[in-house]
Every structure is written in structure tokens, then in C-alpha cells.
Structure 1
């Protein structure tokens, strides 16, 4: 029995060599095949230097379990999700570590119709079987064939826009040398064919597993300058930057300002509710007030979920929600089998910019003024649970409203905080927001107080 530490709450992430290697990848593929017995699955991988080898090891495990495999090649996670609900297959695996450091890799696993596999929905079973190595010998091995999903994927993406309604726009596209480039190119070709008046300005476009411009993770402040500078230099209407497997996209306004994912959740929720009132919108508990305010104004129904893609997707399916959004820039769509996509949000944003004839900065200006937030602040601490308890004890005498949907949320009326342990990294994540009309205190004061408390 080998303990595998790469299994997390809703996917697989591990340090290369020790926590994840080709032998472990083989076992994961073998266990996936034995537990779910799919006839056929899709598999893809991101651009990391180890991803192709890990993918091939996973394929060998799947084949030895009797599973036929469609190898999609180098893909983003959402291309695997798309294949899993669009093609006649019974599951999918993407080999990716998303935004983790260079010495990590991982996997995201789904079942038929791109249903997520998380700790509460099968991932622990795969872990247990992979650890035990009690694999059944199959009389017939599965086969593997290459499959190009890109044309069908792009056709699907085009259903989210009406080409005739799009006005001339100039967009900066920063793939971060990750996996997004080939989809951007295919969309650009499609736009040209349809005479859509949108110009693409592409930076850090070529896939490169050495990540010469840093790990593609635009949530880090130090990674935003390239996109911001390009927006200003080209006088673009919007900037878009992706993480490595492009299931998250981050938007910059025409002034080159990074827009927190929290406010993009509000913007997209509003866009859906303008088309259909009374729809359910799923949100995470880290930052909530702006989302709740918009849902109240536009007759939406709020559903709160634990953070993380498998939890959000399950909640969306349960409530048939049209849209779900996390402040971490994961956006989920009912028409995309409740999966997250980093391509659909910016396409919808071009629709909003075109239909409203407003700039992105003006569309989110009131949200930011009414509900300022800290953005997510990450801390390396020795013991995340002890630190969370310390924060709770520190504020206990103020008797805040307590919500433990995910970590600890404390609501003081004029401001609130959420603190939680990361599911994928050894980090403590802090988010703070306030009501500007009730709170003369600057956001930085809260940030300083919590920072001092956490680091003391």
C-alpha cells in the first residue's frame, strides 16, 4: 500500500517525482478505468514539459483497464470537458497543474457528460484503488486514436455570440505561453470568415512549457503588467489573460486596470438575468455582497456553494442554474454542461460591450465603488486550521455572523471576511469586502490588521 498525497479535494495536484510521476499516472488511469468501466474516454494535456509523458502513462493505464481512448493532444481543460459531453464517450481526463509552480503537475477527471469527480464523488475511490494496486487483468486491452476536437469546440463557442451584433473592438490576448493559443487562433480565423470587426492583439502567444514570461497565473499581481501595458500601448478596449490550462480568464479594462473576478461574476450574472429573470446563479462564499446586490436588482435567485469546481458544478446541476461564478475567475455555464470555461466569459463580455456601447470600466465602476474588496491575499502559514481558529477567536467578542460553508466567513455588517485553506497549495487564502456606504474605514486598514494577526 502506497499513500498517494497528490489527491486533493477536487482534483489531482502533486510535486513531480515524489507525489506524481508516470508510475502513479498509470495507476490513476488504471483505477479510473476499473472503477467506472467506460467504453471510451477523451484525454488531453497542457503544455507543461512533463504533461505529454504523464498523459501517455495514463493512457496505458486506461488501455490496460480495457478502455478505448481518444487522445485530443495538447488541450485546455475545457476542451476535455467539451469532448466529454459532446462526443460519444463516458468520461475525460486533462493532465494539468493549471497555475501551480513549474515542479508540479496534476489531473482533472470527469465522468459521462463531464460530471466532475471530486473527493465526495469518486476521487477517493480512485485513490484507494491506485494505492492498493489491486487491478483486474482484462482479457482485451483498449485502443487509442488521435482526435482533433478543435473545430467542433470553436463551433460551440460561437453559439454564445451573435456576430451581427458585435461592434468594432480591439482586444489584447495574453495566452501566457500556455495552452490557449490554438483556440485563440481558431476563433480569430472564424471571426475573419464572418467579418466580425474584432481585432486580436496577441502577446505571449506561443505555447512554451518553460514559461519564459512566468507561470501563467494572472491572479498574481506581478503577472498582470504585460497585459495591462499592452492594452495601453494598443489603446485596446479590453485585455484578456489566461492561466495555463485556460479554464480561467482574467479581464482588464480599457485603462489597463485588472478587474477582480468578483465583479466579473456580477457582470455575467447581470447579462444572463437581463435575458431571463428568475434564473438561479451559483456563487462561492469568499466575496458575496456585490453578487447578492445584483441578483436582487435583476430578479435572480442566489445559491451559495463551497469553492471548487466539483462543488460548484454539483450545485449547479442540483438547482439547474444558468450560470455559476467564483471570484477566482472560474465561470460555469449550464449550456456548457455546467462546466467552467475561460473562453465563454470574454466572448460574453464582447456581447455586453457591444450591446451597452459602454466601456468595461464604466460597466463595473459602480460595483467596485459600492463593494470594495481586498482581492485574494495568500499567506504561507505552518498550520492553516490553527490560524483560522486564531482569527475567529480574535473577533469573537464582536459577535459577527458566522458562515462555515467554506473555511470561515465572518460578517460584521459593514465589512466581512472569508479565510480558508487552499485545496491545491499549502496556503491560507484571505478575502475581505466592505459596504462603502456604511464604512468610512479604508480597505487597507482591514488588510493590515488581518495581515498582522496572521503573521504574528
Structure 2
């Protein structure tokens, strides 16, 4: 047994190959060592309840009291760990991976990230002593109520004006949690249109992953058909939030980061904003204009959360649609961002398209382009040899050429090489450099 399901900062693998109930039990048993109380939840995948039950059995064999959330989003687990003061938490989820995958996201006490899972992996591979008699109890209703209260505390409901919001849960775990938030918004002038709302682990419309361009037209058309002012879509465990304007146009993640950074700095002038190093100029410009401090951190939730805590940052954002908030235990939420954008639209009276247009024109970007290559190192070396600019190796290869820059990095979770290109007001330059770098990557 090698436990190949252990990745850079979470657990992810193919069912029956990298991950099964026996492995889940061992992970639970190892995670429970030295812990008294642990939160466990799971997403809408067909395999998730059984895997979660195996994790719970392992935790109880380690003598742990397990508080069970049932079907829930990863962010609900994050908040429950802080809310209930437990020694850690696990959400069984493979997020946006294919249907034959599953995995786990784990946090320590205080919802702190676990940046190095190697110790847990070693423990899960080792032998265990006699089983103990832990306990389990469900806390779904009270945990969700506490989570919803915290999420809604991020907005001023009195500021909301009439807006039609289309929400697309993609048949993932978001629907039931959203309904609790919507109930809390009943006395506001917001109207909601729900599509693909019921959790369905067979994913009849495909795995919910709005980051893939081929998954966006369905939501975009639904926004237009409904005459909605805003479209919101989530991935399977709804820790990522994706936005569409009233025309059905997808809002690239770096512009959402800029919007949220601006909102947070209006509330807390001179605050610190953490951003990932892939596409940076729009965020840095927004933060500078608002009088805040921008700090780059490596891509990935463990690295972002560590930087958030180190700098006591009010907000952190990744272009992949992970958004982190200090007042949400420094964790990422897929629900807080769209609520904040709705309040921004209400206060300014501006449609989302107008809020984004100026930023997109000032700092056009390519969006993330993925390559499958046989030799990642050789591909990166070819690109490196072709350009001479200000180099930054914080996360992959970043190179600043003055009027444009790029980031090229290997994925932490998939066998992909990812490219992002941005410029200062020159979309044609972005297109030209994407074509050149793509050719270099291809060899």
C-alpha cells in the first residue's frame, strides 16, 4: 500500500485504485490520533457517504467524538471546526474531479490548514493499537444555521436593492445550503432563479466545474433566458464561486478578486490583501488605489491560508475562484463572494458588466490555458530560454516583460502545465504572446 491519494495539500484519488473505504478508515484512524473531537461532512458524490462512514469508524476507533454534518460543503466543515471548537475537520469530497474520483479536505484545530500531509500518510500506513470506543452524533441543523448566520453577516441586508440572481448548483452540494441562506434573505428585494439545484451524485449534466469553458454556456444561456442581473455557479463542494454578468458573460477570476479586494478595503482601509502570483496586475492596481497592501502567496489553499494568517489579511483571492476571509476563520467560501458582489451592485447601481469592463480593458488577460505535455521541465526550459525579463519563481515561472507578463506553472492536483498571460491595456499583445508561448510549450 502506497497511499497515492495523498497530494500536495489534500487527498484525492481514483475510486478502487487510489482510494477505497479501507483506506478511508486508515486515514480516519491516523487523523484521530491525539484528537478528542472532529467534524466530518461529505459532498454529493455517490461514493461519499460510504467513505465518510469509513472515516468516522476510523476516528471512533481512535477514541474520537465525531460531530457529523452529513451532506455539506467544504466551507461548512471549515466554519464548524471553529464554531464548535473541535480539534480538526474532514470533508469527503473530490470537488471538481471526475465522477470516478473522491478525496478529502482536512483542517486542524481553529480551521488551520495542514500544509504537510506526509506525517498523516506515514501514520495511515503504520499499524494501529487496539481500537477504542469513540462516539458519533449529528449536528447538521445547528451547524448549518451557525454557518448561514456567519455568511450573511458579511453583508448589509438593508443596502440590497431589487436584483434577479440565477444560481446554478450543478447538482452538487450547494443547493440545500443555499436554500438556508435564501430563507435568511426573504425580507430583502432579491429574487432567485434556481437551476440544477438538487444534489445528484450521478451528475446528469456533468461534473460541476465552471472553470472549464465547455461547462459555461449552459449557465450563460440560463442567465440570459431568465433576464437575471447576475449568474452564480459553484463547483461540487461549493468552496469556489463563479460569476456571470447579465449578458451571460463569464467574469474571469482575477477581476472578481479585484472587486472583492476593493469592497474589503472600503470597509478596512490600509488592510492587507493576499493574491496568488498567476495574474496580478489588476489586483495590485486595485489595492494600491484603495490604499491597501498587496502580498503574493503561492497558489493553493494551504499556502494562501498560511499567508492570510501570517499577515492578518482581511481578504485573499485566487483567480481559480477561491476566496478567503479573515472573519471566516481565514478560510475560503463560495457563498460570501456573490453576496458581497450583490451588495456592491446594489450600492453603486451599476451592473456587473460595467463594474468589470474598465478593469478588463486596463489589464486584459488570457484566462488560464492548460497543456498536457510529456515533459513539463523541458517545456518550461524552452519558454525560459526564449525570454529575458524580471523573473519570479514564487510559484512556477513568472516573468515580467514590462508591458506584459506571464506565469507558467505545473498543477498541484492534475498532470497539467498552466499558462496565464496579462498586459497593460493591450489585448492583442496578450493574444500574440499566448500563441508564441503555446508553440514553445508544444516544442
Residues 440 and 175 (structure 1 numbering): CA distance in 2 closer, same or farther, change over 3 Å? Answer: closer
Partner of 2:102: 105
Q: Secondary structure at the match of 1:262?
A: helix
1:33 Cα offset (Å): 1.1
Alignment match of 1:136 (pick from 129, 134, 145): 129
| Cross-structure match for 1:66 | 63
1:91 counterpart (88, 93, 102): 88
Q: CA deviation at 1:440?
A: 7.2
Q: 2:358 aligns with which of 351, 355, 366?
A: 366
Cα distance in structure 2, aligned partners of 1:351 and 1:326: 21
User: Deviation at 1:447?
Assistant: 1.7
Aligned with 2:344 (options 330, 352, 362): 352
**What corresponds to 1:417 in structure 2?**
406
Q: Any conservation in 2 of the 1:44–1:72 contact (CA below 8 Å)?
A: yes
CA contact (8 A) 1:46 1:75 kept: yes
Cα distance in 2 for partners of 1:124, 1:386 equals: 28
- On the 8 A contact 2:404/2:430 being kept in 1, the answer is no
| Pair 1:434 & 2:423 matched | yes
Write the distance in 1 (CA, Å) between the matches of 2:409 and 2:29: 33
1:197 CA displacement: 0.6
SS at match of 1:429: strand
Deviation at 1:371, TM superposition (A): 0.6
CA shift at 1:386, angstroms? 2.5
Separation (CA, whole Å) in 1 of partners of 2:15 and 2:385: 38
Deviation, 1:363, is 0.7
Which residue in 2 is equivalent to 1:322? Answer: 314
Native 8 Å contact 2:398 2:408 kept in 1: yes
1:45-444 aligned at under 5 Å gives the runs: 45-119=42-116, 123-131=117-125, 133-138=126-131, 140-148=132-140, 149-192=143-186, 195-395=187-387, 399-436=388-425, 439=426, 441-444=428-431
Counterpart of 2:99 in 1: which secondary structure?
coil
Q: CA deviation at 1:238?
A: 0.4
Q: CA deviation at 1:443?
A: 2.4
Classify the secondary structure of the residue corresponding to 2:185.
helix
Could you tell me how far apart the structure 2 residues matched to 1:301 and 1:30 are? 42
Which residue number corresponds to residue 15 of structure 2?
16
Asked whether the equivalents of residues 374 and 447 of structure 1 are also in contact (C-alpha less than 8 Å), the reply is: yes
Q: TM-score, with normalisation over the residues of structure 1?
A: 0.95
CA-based RMSD: 1.1
Cα distance in 2, alignment partners of residues 230 and 222 from structure 1: 15
Contact preservation (8 Å) 1:385, 1:421: no
Counterparts of 1:288 and 1:134, CA distance in 2: 47
**Where do 4+ consecutive residues of structure 1 move more than 3 Å?**
439-442
CA distance, structure 1, for counterparts of residue 378 and residue 213 of structure 2: 27
> Which residue of 2 is the match for residue 446 of structure 1?
433
Per-residue CA deviation, residues 286-342 of structure 1 (Å, 9 max, x unaligned), is 000001111111101011100000100011101100000000000000000100000
SS in 1 for 2:379: helix
Q: Which moved more, 1:382-391 or 1:62-71?
A: 382-391
Q: Deviation string for 1:221-278 (max 9, x for gaps)?
A: 1111121111111111100000000000100011110000100000000011112211
What is the SS of the residue equivalent to 2:269? coil
In the alignment, structure 2 segments of 5+ residues that lack a partner are none
The 8 Å contact of residues 365 and 427 in structure 2, kept in 1 or not, is answered as no
Q: Is the 8 A contact 2:8 2:412 kept in 1?
A: yes
